[in-house]
């Protein structure tokens, strides 16, 4: 191609290179969390910083701006996916050019080091050892937020939020969270009162061999449609899904006294992984082929873990496998008992272990705190006290130590300020999507009981996964469910599951 018409093709080649570099970084990030020895942390920080700088330089090269201008002038010659891709290219370019290269490099190096410090600090319940490196990460994140705020004419927090959920702002989140905060306390009290009057839950007794737990997880992942030719399951301090769509890396963690934590963690991450594996193959090297945003990503993990896997239909399918894996017999292994165990509602300290009723309150706390950290209203050394006060207000609990408090999450050490709201936005989206899918697939309950997830996955692929970033989150959600994001479907789901 020559002339103006070649600008878009040139951009595609450049973004394909950026995709390859980003993929390499993702695998290195997984490696550092799953199998890298502690002594490799400094070298890995330098490697990640170098790859980040190379990507930044490729994206911010002066030629890219000219190519974008030329391609946009000739946009009429492009098809719908190419125009959407061009729009995503421009967005990524605007984010990158807003931040100086030396700040990008410094932030990458600081977060890599802080993540390694966090692992040890969390294990040893030693916030003081994390505080200096976290302070540096917050400082650099504030600088990035200020730069992007000026470039996008957004508040600093909204500028960071837009990296994880494009088009979303505090003005969208605040009324949703206010509605949940008004609804959940009374609802929580009613659910706990009802559960207290039910037969006592019998907890299955371990120990539960981690190797058997893993095999059970692999079995259920296979049933749901995870492609192990393009992914794997490992162990890390904090469960996550990483890698790339053609090589998805899931992690979980195991406890010998409780198999449900790892099992639900695996199912949660499988939801993320299925979304990644369902992204449009022909566009995976381009921005338009990436997952739309973290709210939609979280909707897919919560749809599998909460909407599907904690329902009686899924348990009916999975229970024979669970009993066989652990040799379970007796009342503790009855379906009704295990269902009550899965649906037990009780305020707790750890977000990733929280039930779906109390989980949004964990997110609301983090949302408030990270806004205060970014604005400077809250200093890092004061974080433990602010955290404990917020936990007391929202959940009626005071963490016994920082390991059960502000040290539990990796997000802030990794520089991910603006990420936390997407968890609850995802829960709201999951409820809407599952309700619409159930209406579209009247035999879904029967299929789930039989362990047949084909129709479910086909519907999700058609209505969510295969769209990539060709549309906005709002457009995808409205097209799939008929409504913009709200709290009604989520509240209906909770009432039907816990009070009916």
Cα–Cα dist 238/28, whole Å: 16
What string of H, E and C letters represents the secondary structure of the chain? CCHHHHHHHHHHHHHHHHHHHHHHHHHHHHHHHHCCCHHHHHHHHHHHHHHHHHHHHHHHCHHHHHHHHHHHHCHHHCCHHHHHHHHHHHHHHHHHHCCCHHHHHHHHHHHHHHHHHHHHHHHHCCHHHHHHHHHHHHHHHHHHHHHHHHHHCCCHHHHHHHHHCCCCCHHHHHHHHHHHHHHHHHHHHHHHHHHHHCCCCCCCCCCCCHHHHHHHHHHHHHHHCCCHHHEEEEECCCCCEEEECCEEEEEECCECCEHHHHHHHHHHHHHHHHHHHCCCHHHCCCHHHCCCCHHHHHHHHHHHHHHHCCCHHHHHHHHHHHHHHHCCCCHHHCHHHHHHHHCCCCCCCCHHHCCCCCHHHHHHHHHHHHHHHHHCCCCHHHHHHHHHHHHHHHHCCCCCCHHHCCCCCCCCCCCCCCCCHHHHHHHHHHHHHHHHHHHHCCCHHHHHHCCCCHHHHHHHHHHCHHHCCCCCHHHHHHHHHCCCCCCHHHHHHHHHHHCC
Structure-token pair, residue 89: 């290219």
Instruction: Supply 105's token pair.
Output: 């490099």
Q: Is 181 a catalytic residue?
A: no
Question: CA separation (Å) from 179 to 120, 184, 299, 392, 499?
Answer: 38, 9, 19, 20, 19
**Residue pointed to by tokens 């490799």:** 40
Per annotation, catalytic residue among 115, 165, 269, 370: 269
Per the structure block, which two tokens stand in for 442? 């009247």
CA atoms within 13 A on the CB side of 357: 25
Show which residues are catalytic: 269
């Amino acid at each position: 191609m020559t002339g103006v018409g070649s600008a878009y093709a040139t951009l595609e080649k450049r973004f394909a290179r950026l995709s390859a570099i980003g993929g390499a970084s993702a695998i290195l990030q997984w490696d550092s969390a799953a199998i890298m020895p502690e002594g490799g942390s400094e070298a890995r920080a330098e490697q990640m910083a170098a790859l980040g700088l190379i990507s930044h330089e490729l994206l911010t090269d002066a030629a890219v701006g000219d190519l974008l201008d030329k391609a946009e002038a000739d946009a009429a010659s492009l098809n719908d996916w190419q125009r959407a891709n061009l729009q995503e290219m421009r967005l990524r370019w605007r984010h990158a050019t807003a931040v100086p290269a030396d700040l990008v490099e410094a932030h990458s190096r600081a977060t890599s080091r802080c993540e390694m410090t966090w692992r040890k600090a969390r294990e040893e319940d030693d916030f003081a050892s994390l505080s200096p490196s976290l302070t540096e990460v917050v400082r650099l994140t504030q600088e990035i937020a200020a730069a992007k705020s000026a470039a996008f004419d957004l508040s600093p927090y909204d500028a960071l939020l837009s990296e994880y959920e494009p088009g979303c702002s505090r003005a969208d989140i605040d009324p949703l969270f206010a509605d949940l905060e008004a609804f959940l306390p009374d609802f929580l009290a009613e659910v706990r009162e009802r559960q207290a009057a039910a037969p006592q839950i019998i907890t299955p007794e371990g120990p539960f061999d981690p190797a058997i737990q893993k095999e059970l997880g692999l079995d259920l992942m296979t049933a749901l449609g995870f492609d192990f030719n393009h992914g794997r399951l490992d162990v890390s301090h904090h469960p996550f899904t990483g890698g790339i769509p053609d090589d998805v890396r899931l992690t979980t963690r195991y406890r010998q006294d409780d198999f449900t934590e790892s099992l639900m963690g695996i199912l949660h991450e499988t939801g993320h992984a299925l979304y990644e594996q369902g992204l449009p193959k022909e566009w995976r090297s381009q921005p338009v082929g990436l997952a739309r945003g973290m709210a939609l990503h979280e909707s897919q993990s919560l749809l599998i873990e909460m909407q599907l896997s904690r329902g009686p239909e899924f348990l009916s399918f999975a229970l024979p496998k669970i009993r066989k894996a652990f040799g379970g017999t007796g009342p503790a292994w009855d379906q009704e008992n295990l269902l009550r165990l899965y649906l037990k509602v009780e305020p707790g300290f750890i977000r990733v272990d929280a039930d779906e009723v109390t989980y949004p309150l964990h997110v609301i706390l983090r949302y408030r705190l990270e806004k205060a950290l970014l604005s400077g209203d809250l200093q890092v050394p004061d974080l433990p006290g602010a955290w404990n006060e917020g936990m007391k207000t929202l959940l009626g609990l005071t963490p016994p130590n920082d390991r059960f408090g502000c040290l539990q999450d990796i997000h802030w050490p990794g520089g991910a300020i603006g990420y936390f709201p997407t968890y609850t936005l995802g829960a709201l989206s999951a409820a809407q999507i599952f309700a619409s899918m159930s209406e579209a697939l009247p035999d879904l309950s029967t299929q789930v009981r039989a362990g047949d997830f084909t129709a479910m996955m086909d519907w999700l692929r058609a209505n969510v996964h295969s769209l990539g970033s060709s549309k906005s989150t709002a457009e995808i959600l409205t097209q799939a469910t008929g409504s913009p994001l709200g709290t009604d479907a989520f509240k209906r789901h909770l009432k039907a599951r816990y009070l009916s």
